């Protein structure tokens, strides 16, 4: 049993002042809206029930991952948005920080992402890097028609056919819609191994489907433990009582701060393992809530790195911010301690024998205090330890919180009509033929 805890002490002052909302009542309504499937976008609630750990889908993902691990130096993962960020976040949170450069530690393929940008330099240099290596490909697109991954896949497919000839298809795994879309049609005609993104799970809620699970399993992550963590979270956060549900408290209290003029939320972490997780979180909340001219703007900072850059703005800029700190209680590597140095030229001898984790923790506590003094409310989400189980729990925590928060904001948390605007213009400029 994981003990995730949401500490709201550093936000209580703001939550208790000004107009008071009956959050218990509003949350109960939002809870029923999700669990009875009566709200806007209710066709997209498939993520509420995580995949069966012993089911066929998970077993097929594991079998494919085993093949990839056995015959590949490199796995290329092609996707963007919800078909990209979750897998990358999971891998960065749960594997060695330098896994791609560290074969002995990795015991599996290097994993690289492509199709999440249109940079010719990035793509060219990735091809340079994989020259001479054995490669497998996981191309992921729910719609099967998104420009960036489709373009990348065209290039990668040519590269694969050039290298493996007719056998290229045996190394290509496609994760897409069960029936429709260009990627489905192509996969069926080329005989690729395919995995399905369920109709009732939107891209940004899909990390715990084959979208995220196959790349993570290929990277050596225990996805069964991850799914067990998600199931645990499902149980823990199925309680409609606000007082007993920290996920709902987070959803409600961020809305409380929003109503009190705090329009920007910074997701804060003290470990670079969370950098891409923050990107995943930003898509989840940004696409779910930013509509009808409403929504908290989701941003992120990495501390202590950004305390030396954005710290100034957070401390003294406009007071429209609040922070949600992700804190890992058992960060690991407590053995790394500050050494004693003759002469103490850098003045650090007062820390001799203290662990780096201890120093990081004091930085967190000191920052929490400073930002409160600077009128920035803080929530702290305590994660017991970064394990596959807990990361499954964490993904679920934010997915559930986002759905509830979206309903509290009175928007549809499951659509993203706004992202079409740039695409329309881009297609016009590119001269895309209309069908």
Ligand X SMILES: O=P(O)(O)OC[C@H]1O[C@H](O)[C@H](O)[C@@H](O)[C@@H]1O
Residues annotated catalytic, as ranges: 287, 423
Q: Which is nearer to ligand X, 82 or 215 (CB)?
A: 82
5-27 per-residue burial string, b: 16 or more CB within 10 A, e: under 16: ebbbebbeebbeeeeebebeebb
Contact 102, 96 (CB under 8 A): yes
- Binding segment for ligand X (CB under 6 A), chosen from 143-151, 264-272, 379-387, 399-407, is 143-151
> Which string of x and - marks every residue 397-416 that binds ligand X (by CB under 6 A)?
-------------------x
Q: Interface mask (CB under 6 A) for ligand X, residues 155-194, using x and -? A: ----------------------------------------
Shortest distance, CB of residue 218 to ligand X, whole angstroms? Answer: 19
User: Taking contact as CB under 6 A, which single stretch among the options 74-82, 91-99, 154-162, 251-259 is the one that binds ligand X?
Assistant: 74-82
- CB closer to ligand X out of 176 and 378: 176
Tell me the closest approach of the beta carbon of residue 197 to ligand X, in angstroms: 7
Q: 116, 142, 171, 231: which one contacts ligand X (CB under 6 A)? A: 142
Q: Rank residues 84 and 159 by Cβ distance to ligand X and give the closer one.
A: 84
The half-sphere exposure of 356 on its side-chain side, counting CA atoms within 13 A, is 11
CB of 141 to ligand X, least distance (A): 3
Residues 193-232 that bind ligand X (CB under 6 A): 203-204
Binding letters toward ligand X, positions 262-291, x by CB under 6 A? -------------------------x----
> Do β-strands 264-269 and 172-176 pair in parallel, antiparallel, or remain unpaired?
unpaired
Closest Cα partner for 250 from 296, 186, 207, 183?
296
- SS3 of the chain: the string is CCCCEEECHHHHHHHHCCCCCCHHHHHHHHHHHHHHCCCCCHHHCHHHCCCCCCCHHHHHHHHHHHHHHHHCCEEEEECCHHHCHHHHHHHHHHCCCCHHHCHHHHCCCEEEEECCCCCHHHHHHHHHHHCCCCEEEEEEECCCCCHHHHHHHHHHHHHHHHHHHHHHHHHEEEEECCCCCHHHHHHHHHCCEEEECCCCCCHHHCCCCHHHHHHHHHCCCCHHHHHHHHHHHHHHCCCCCHHHCHHHHHHHHHHHHHHCCCCEEEEEECCHHHHHHHHHHHHHHHHHHCECCECCEEEEEECCHHHHCCHHHHHHCCCCEEEEEEEEEECCCCCCECCCCHHHCCCCHHHCCCEHHHHHHHHHHHHHHHHHHCCCCEEEEEEEECCHHHHHHHHHHHHHHHHHHHHHCCCCCCCCHHHHHHHHHHHHHHCCCCC
Residue 147 found at the interface with ligand X (CB under 6 A): no
Kindly tell me which of 212 and 229 has the beta carbon lying closer to ligand X. 212
What part of residues 286-345 is at the interface with ligand X (CB under 6 A)? 287
Planar angle of CA 191, 193, 194, nearest 5 degrees: 110
Tokens 């005989």: give the residue.
Answer: 191
- Pick between residue 325 and residue 411 the one whose CB is nearest to ligand X: 411
Select the span of 65-73, 77-85, 89-97, 348-356 touching ligand X (CB under 6 A).
Answer: 77-85
Q: Interacting stretch for ligand X, rule CB under 6 A, among 81-89, 273-281, 291-299, 397-405?
A: 81-89
- Candidate list 6, 34, 64, 80; residue touching ligand X; CB under 6 A: 80
Output the smallest distance, CB 407 to ligand X, in A.
19
Does position 143 bind ligand X by CB under 6 A? yes
Kindly tell me which residue out of 39, 50, 82, 413 binds ligand X, with binding defined by CB under 6 A.
82
81 binds ligand X (CB under 6 A): yes
Q: How far is the CB of 404 from ligand X (least distance, A)?
A: 19
- What is the nearest approach in angstroms of ligand X to the Cβ of residue 149? 6
Kindly state the smallest distance separating residue 74's Cβ from ligand X, in Å: 22
Taking the complex as a whole, the smallest distance from the CB of residue 398 to ligand X amounts, in Å, to: 15
Query: Judged by CB, which is closer to ligand X: 113, or 322?
Result: 113
Q: Is 367 in the site for ligand X (CB under 6 A)?
A: no
Regarding 419 and contact with ligand X (CB under 6 A), the answer is yes
Q: Which residues bind ligand X (CB under 6 A)?
A: 80-83, 141-143, 146, 149, 203-204, 287, 416, 419
């Amino acid at each position: 049993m994981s003990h995730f805890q949401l500490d709201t002490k550093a936000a209580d002052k703001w939550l208790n002042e000004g107009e008071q909302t009956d959050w218990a009542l509003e949350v109960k309504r939002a809870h029923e809206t999700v669990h009875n499937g009566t709200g806007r976008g209710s066709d997209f609630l498939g993520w509420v029930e995580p995949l069966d750990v012993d089911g066929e889908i998970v077993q097929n993902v594991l079998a494919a991952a085993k093949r990839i691990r056995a015959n590949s130096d490199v796995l290329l993962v092609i996707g963007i948005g919800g078909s990209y960020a979750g897998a990358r976040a999971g891998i960065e949170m749960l594997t060695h920080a330098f896994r791609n450069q560290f074969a002995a530690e990795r015991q599996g393929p290097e994993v690289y992402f492509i199709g999440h940008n249109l940079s010719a330099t990035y793509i060219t240099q990735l091809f340079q890097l994989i020259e001479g290596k054995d490669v497998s490909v996981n191309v992921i697109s729910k719609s099967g028609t998104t420009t960036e991954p489709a373009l990348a896949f065209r290039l990668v497919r040519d590269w694969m056919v050039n290298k493996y000839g007719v056998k290229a298809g045996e190394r290509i795994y496609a994760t897409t819609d069960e029936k429709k879309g260009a990627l489905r049609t192509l996969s069926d005609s080329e005989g690729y191994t395919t995995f399905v993104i369920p109709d009732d799970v939107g891209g940004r809620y899909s990390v715990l489907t084959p979208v995220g699970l196959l790349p993570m399993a290929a990277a050596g992550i225990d996805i069964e433990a991850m799914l067990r963590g998600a199931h645990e979270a499902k149980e823990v956060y199925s309680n409609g009582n606000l007082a007993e549900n920290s996920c709902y408290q987070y959803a409600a209290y961020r809305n409380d701060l929003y109503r009190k003029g705090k329009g920007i939320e910074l997701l804060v972490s003290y470990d670079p393992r969370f950098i891409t997780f923050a990107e995943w979180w930003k898509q989840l909340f940004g696409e779910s809530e930013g509509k009808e001219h409403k929504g908290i703007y989701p941003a992120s900072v990495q501390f202590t790195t950004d305390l030396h850059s954005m710290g100034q703005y957070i401390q003294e800029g406009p007071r429209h911010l609040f922070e949600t700190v992700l804190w890992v209680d058992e960060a690991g590597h407590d053995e790394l301690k500050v050494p004693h140095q003759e002469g103490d030229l850098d003045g650090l001898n007062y820390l001799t024998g203290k662990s780096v984790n201890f120093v990081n923790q004091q930085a967190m506590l000191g920052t929490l205090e400073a930002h409160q003094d600077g009128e920035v409310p803080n929530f702290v989400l305590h994660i017991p330890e970064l394990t596959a189980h807990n990361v499954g729990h964490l993904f679920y925590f934010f997915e559930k919180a986002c759905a509830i928060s979206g309903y509290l904001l009175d928007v549809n948390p499951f659509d993203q009509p706004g992202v079409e605007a740039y695409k329309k213009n881009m297609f016009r400029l590119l001269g895309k033929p209309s069908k």
